[in-house]
Amino acid sequence: MASSSPSNPFLVAASFSLACFFYFLFISENKSFVNAIRSEEAFEFQHTHHRVTLDSLSPSSSCSSHQGGSRNGSMEMVHKHGPCSKLKQRSSSSSLTSSSFIIPHSEILKQDEARVRAINSMLSRTLNLQEANTSKIQVPARSAISLGRGNYYVTVGLGTPKTDLSLEFDTGSDLTWTQCKPCTGSCYKQKDSIFDPSQSSSYSNIPCTSSLCSRLSSACYAPTKACLYRIKYGDGSSAIGSYAKETLTIPPNDVFQNFLFGCGQDNRGIFRGTAGLIGLSRSAVSIVQQTAQNYGKIFSYCIPSTPSTVGYLSFGGASSKSNIKYISYHSISEAPSLYGVNLIGINLGGVNLPISASTFSSGTIIDSGTVITRLPRAAYGPLREAFGRFMSARYPKGDPDDLLDTCYDMSGFNTVSIPKVSLTFEGGVKVELDVIGTVYILSTRQVCLGFAANQNDDDVAIIGNNQQKTLEVVYDVDGPRIGFRAGGCK
């Protein structure tokens, strides 16, 4: 039997080297493949989720001013509780604090609930028109109805010479009004000097006999034959005063003669700090309609990301940017002041949630004065569940709030990930919300999903101002259309 020949050491070495080459080639290709997958996943994650520092979602202790232009018809918008505010109101309520200001979240959300109830009562025609408290001015119950006040204000001039007044703005209100001396009934404390019509050469009351008075749905005060108005708010507050004409100055120097406004003499309730309100509805008495000759019934605003930054309210042509997404709006017969839109779906993290368009059959409005977006329960449930699956895998649960039930404790994190949320409107138009529009931050231990469920299945859905933050929102009243542009406050 022949013995086997010994192995050639050169052949063995060559085979080993070849095997190593293919092994390392396989490993290298596999690594490239894995890296490619990871890169693709990172790219996909970037487009479906926000990854931000927690500090960027919270207000700072100092004001960061808006750097936009100062064209006519454009005013800075300021959160009345933030460091940019000259009102400097403080509260002992549950709040997010800094070294120089307090955000009274419990008060804000409580007022928000009152506003939402008023909206749904208005739409169901069941608003209880109770009389205001007895005062020196008696006005019948046939009065104007409004929804409440917001947390943002702008400054305009009124009178000749002009008095600068800080007025909250509201797309759901009709009449612009301010407190006036001599405060026959009651005036609340405000930061600005109370407007004194006796010191203005351009002030005049509207008489009872004027057609303007009958159009306001107000009342005649017999002793003076002056046209009076009464506004009752959803939270029970009220404002009563004289319907009047005055010169209005919109910064920096647009002047409007014979501007119709309310000169408040008896203002009761939880007003605080500001001098009154600007009505931005579609009503004939709103500032939008009264300035139409100059601004073409177009206005826009950008609500800032935090109370320590500044946004704007502008009248006239929209931004020159080309990436504005427009949707149609429609009027609502029961509440002609409101702007109705057709919301049909919600996308979270790049996935369309299982929500039928018929879920929103009770209607949807967009509202600058409501803070937290309200959704039908059949829409809120899938959103809450999908948001919770992502967040619960990364962050510990935080204590829920009475209104906000899905919260997480992020106090131990510097950088956080939040799934992106988009709202889909009729026609397939998708509007992506900013990260600060997806969550509502009560504190670093309570970072909550910034949406809430409606109480009743037939309640209207409401797109609130928290979801509108950092978007330029354009109202083309005669369009009729509303536009959205990302990064609108820049």
Encoded tokens for 474: 């354009």
Task: Return the active site residues.
Answer: 170, 367
**Cα–Cα distance between 303 and 168 in angstroms, integer?**
13
Q: Taking the C-alpha atoms of 487, 173, 250 and 245 in order, what is their torsion angle to the nearest 10 degrees?
A: 170
Residue type, 77: M
DSSP H or E segment with residue 31: helix 9-48
Pairing of strands 144-145, 226-232: parallel
Task: Report whether 277 contacts 177 (CB < 8 A).
Answer: yes
**Residue type at 335?**
A
| Cα dist from 381 to 223, 378, 387, 388, 404, whole Å | 57, 6, 10, 10, 13
Burial of 183 (0-12, 13-18, 19+ CB in 10 A): middle
Name residues whose C-beta falls within 8 Å of residue 78's C-beta, 6 or more positions apart in sequence.
84, 85, 86, 152, 153, 154, 310, 311
Query: In whole angstroms, how large is the CA radius of gyration of the chain?
Result: 28
The span from the CA of 188 to the CA of 196, in Å, is: 15
Q: Which residue stretches of 156-227 are H helix?
A: 211-215
The contacts of residue 381 (CB under 8 Å, 6+ apart) are 453
CA distance 460 to 359: 11
472 CB contacts (<8 Å, ≥6 apart)?
Answer: 300, 301, 302, 318, 319, 321, 324, 483, 484, 485, 487, 488, 489
* Alpha helix ranges (H) inside 208-301: 211-215, 287-290, 292-295
Locus of tokens 């959160």: 79
Do strands 325-328 and 481-485 pair parallel, antiparallel, or not at all (unpaired)?
antiparallel
Taking CB atoms within 8 Å and a gap of at least 24, the contacts of 50-53 are: 50/417, 50/418, 50/419, 50/420, 50/435, 50/438, 51/415, 51/416, 51/417, 52/415, 52/416, 52/418, 52/435, 53/414, 53/415, 53/416
